[in-house]
Structure 1
Amino acid sequence: MAWDAAGGSATLRDVAEVAGVSASTASRVLNNGGQGVSNDLSVRVRAVADALGYVSNQAARALRGHRSGVVLLASDPRTSSIAAMAAGMEEAGRERGVSVSIAAVGPDADAHLAVLRILRGMRPLALVVTSASFVGTESARILPELEAAKREGANVVFIGEHEYDFPAIRFDDVQIGRTVAAHMATLGRARPAILTSQGHPAIEGRTQGFLEGLTARGYDGESIPVESSEVSRAGGYASTNRLLRRRERPDMILAGNDVLAIGALHALRDADVEAPGDVALSGVDDIPIARDLTPALTTVSLPFLEAGRAALALALETSMPKDVHLNSTLVTRESA
């Protein structure tokens, strides 16, 4: 038995032999979601497939010699930002005669890997990866799959900040944070606080910008409380409650995105703390509900539709592609 791990030419029978299972069991795990197979056995088969570089080749046989379509990978395709990116990609794809599809990569590394192996077998023209889809996953396991897809001829492009060797559509999250901080510093408030999420590249960049911007305007960066949570309404709510229990309650909160800010707004309301009277509040992203909140949320509008169009163009680039940097716009509303 021989295989080329780098080229992904291991067969299903190779995987089954090394994992000590039947070919039908390996197929159920790798091609049919593991239905009827125990979790321990599924983990073993996937680990072997990962080690051998196995790729489902049913679609590859059907499309041998051809590449088709660009795929957007996202952890949750239902979010407004992902929907806007997808719309931009689809618009640009229609103009260039290229089909665009969306793949939900799932909540963990195993699900992510399973989707990527299927996609590699389908031989796409390119994969567009949202940086947020890497949050909470084991990127060290996933990156080799993207690198293998690139070796096999598929361009790989990211949307958002990342540290990997792939071109990207970038929003400059640090500068976004500085812009928000510059505005919030004009409000005459003395006790700023920040809501962030560790491990989220965009929000971590914005947090760095918040601190740099506030420090540049005379605030003591060392004394600014920074509360971290998952990126959810519940996370923002819990972090804000922790801030409100501090001996010196903050009088302005800079949230790393609008979802955290919405959680903060609910926590303030439940604690009978008025926004913006007692606590000014800002977010980032300008999701559709931001303008309909009470008070309407001060935030930063990001060009997600334009990002999708730019990502499609970058994904089809045949020369050495360069990063594309997009501008954002501060939107001031009643919350700050």
Structure 2
Amino acid sequence: MSQHKASADSGRATIRDVAERAGVSVASVSRVLSGNYPVSDELRSRVMKVVREMDYVTNAHARSLAGGGTPTVAILINNITGAAFAHIAQGVENAASVRGWLSMVCTTSDDPERELALVNLMRQQGVAAVILLGGAYDVEDYQLRMARFARSLDAAGSRLVLVGRPPLDGDVPATAVDYDNESGAYAMASHLLSAGHRKILTLPGHSDFTTAQGRLAGTRRAFAAHGVPFDPEMVNHHGGYSPEYGYQAVQEGLRRKLGFTAVLAGTDVVAAGAMQAVREAGLTVPGDVSIVGYDDIPLASQLFPQLTTVHVPYEEMGRVAVRAVADQRERGGRRTAREGDHVVLGTHVVVRQSVQPPARRA
């Protein structure tokens, strides 16, 4: 079997493939790519055109992908100060360091365009895996472009790993390490409903965010299971996962006299903001308003009263993500999403002191 045929079968273009298509020698391609030798503009233009067409990844990093160097995993995180994301990153780092791998962290600042650009940059750097943390924007263009990057990473011998978000649609070579988001919200809403609450102010997050969509779906399903009508007016989508979102949503709900007796916050941080607004209104938690969160970050047990919330195994998700990449590399081949690259971890309610049956309407 020729070297050209072998590289085609592997799905990753080699420097020989580039040279053959450009009609030049391997040495000429190497000179153009290294930038250390003078070459003509015509030669550089011809070679670089083929490099782009074949999506050729040139680097010393390719040696690490082939097992000749230290593998690196890139962690793409929305906000490095977010406790939930930090716990996932810690799990990734722990699992990577055990294997002697390196980790790097890049922040996206809640910007889908920056996230997509970083994925492309990491592909060019030849990392062993790009690990995206947190929910995704349910926008068609974003999904299509991310699927393209997943295939490009796969062709370069790397792997896209989605942590805390659903898998991409279709047969896309990416690994998804998710948690049972919807069931966690279902269990939490059921906890409030079982305590007697019927008017529940729900703060799932932005409506186009997959995390918020799952949490709202679980909440609606709990209302249906308990035979309680779900009032869309009790849902506030106008904010990200910040204390300000919880604070402002509760203030608005009180101003509109929605009469809620409980707040189902999209995260523990949102719940903290909701608690502040309730207290500033002269009300108590849980005497007047019960409040619950989601995530079970350390903040949940530091609030007063301690917050009832949904536990998500964030560190374990990070460790599972690295194990999935390691397993793939040890197998020495590429796998598709249809071959089991979707892992879902369980969630559960942690009952603390922030919920009691409604005594009166807030």
Q: What TM-score do you get using the length of structure 2 for normalisation?
A: 0.72
Once residues 223 and 117 of structure 1 are traced to their aligned partners in structure 2, the CA distance between those partners, rounded to angstroms, is 39
Deviates more, 1:64-73 or 1:283-292: 64-73
Specify the code of the residue in structure 1 equivalent to 2:224: T
C-alpha displacement of 1:161: 2.7
**1:266 corresponds to which of 254, 258, 276:** 276
Matches within 5 A, 1:90-169: 90-132=93-135, 134=137, 138-164=142-168, 165=172, 166-169=174-177
**1:291–1:297 Cα contact (<8 Å) kept:** yes
The code of the aligned residue for 1:78 comes to: T
**Which has the higher mean CA deviation after the structures are superposed, 194-203 or 101-110?**
101-110
After superposition, give the CA deviation of every residue in 1:18-73 in whole Å (9 maximum; x if it has no partner). xxxxxxxxxxxxxxxxxxxxxxxxxxxxxxxxxx689897xx43334332211121
Gap change, CA 1:109 and 1:302, over 3 Å in 2: closer
Q: 2:313 aligns with which of 282, 288, 303?
A: 303
**Structure 2: unaligned runs, 5 residues or longer:** 1-11, 16-51, 66-70, 329-334, 356-362
8 A Cα contact 1:54 1:117, kept in partner: no
Match of 2:235 among 201, 226, 241: 226
Select the structure of larger CA radius of gyration.
2
**Quick check: 2:200–2:264 contact (8 Å CA) kept in 1?**
yes
1:330 corresponds in structure 2 to 349
In 2, the alpha carbon distance for the partners of 1:129 and 1:325 equals: 16
Cross-structure match for 1:289? 299
Whole-angstrom CA distance in 2 between matches of 1:223 and 1:129: 31
- How many angstroms apart in 2 are the aligned matches of 1:53 and 1:216? 54
Mapped pair 1:199 → 2:202: no
The change in CA–CA distance for 1:261 and 1:56 in structure 2 (over 3 A counts) is farther
**Aligned-residue RMSD, C-alpha:** 2.9
Cα offsets for 1:95-119 (capped at 9, x unmatched): 3232222222344244334422331
Structure 1 residue matching 2:87: 3-state secondary structure: helix
Question: 1:157: how far off?
Answer: 1.2
Deviations 1:204-223 (A, max 9, x none): 21111112112211311146
Q: Equivalents in 1 of 2:266, 2:111: separation in Å? A: 23
Q: What is the TM-score of this pair, normalised by structure 1?
A: 0.77
The amino acid that maps onto 1:156 is L
In 2, Cα distance between equivalents of 1:151 and 1:332: 46
SS of equivalent to 1:261: helix
Structure 1 spans left out of the alignment, 5+ residues: 1-5, 10-51
Partner of 2:180: 172
**SS, match of residue 193 in structure 1:** strand
Distance 1:224 1:233 in 2: 21
SS at match of 1:237: helix
Quick one: structure 1 residues 150 and 179, their matched pair in 2 at CA, closer, same or farther if it must change by over 3 Å? same
**2 CA distance for matches of 1:309 and 1:53?**
36
Task: Please state how far the C-alpha of 1:130 moved relative to its aligned partner.
Answer: 1.5
**What does 1:233-248 correspond to in 2, within 5 Å?**
233-248=243-258
- The residue number in structure 2 matching 1:255 is 265
Give the C-alpha shift of residue 184 in structure 1: 0.9
Change (3 A) 1:75 1:53: farther
User: Distance between the aligned counterparts of 1:288 and 1:277, measured in 2?
Assistant: 23
Amino acid at match of 2:351: T
The verdict on how the C-alpha distance between 1:56 and 1:115 changes in structure 2, with shifts beyond 3 A counting, is farther
Equivalent pairs counted in the alignment come to: 289
Please name the residue that 1:279 is paired with.
289
SS at match of 1:158: strand
SS of the aligned residue for 1:206 comes to helix
Measured at CA, do residues 241 and 135 of structure 1 come closer, stay the same or move farther in structure 2, by a change above 3 Å?
farther
**Counterpart of 1:62?**
60
Question: Per the alignment, do residues 101 and 134 of structure 1 end up closer, same or farther by CA in structure 2, a change over 3 Å counting?
Answer: farther
* Contact 2:136-2:209 at 8 Å conserved across structures: no
- Kept in 2, the 8 Å contact 1:87–1:308? The answer is yes
Alpha-carbon separation, structure 2, partners of 1:54 and 1:238: 51
> Aligned partners of 1:53, 1:145: CA distance in 2, in Å?
15
Bigger mean CA offset, 298-307 vs 147-156: 147-156
Residues 134 and 98 of structure 1: CA distance in aligned 2, closer, same or farther (over 3 Å): farther
Q: Residues of 2 paired with 1:259 and 1:55: CA distance?
A: 42
The percent of aligned pairs where both chains have the same amino acid is 26
CA positional deviation for 1:121: 1.9
Aligned-pair distance for 1:142? 4.4
In structure 2, distance between residues paired with 1:243 and 1:62: 57
| Aligned-residue offset at 1:238 | 1.4
Runs of 4+ in 1 over 6 A off after TM superposition: 52-57
Deviation at 1:203, TM superposition (A): 2.3
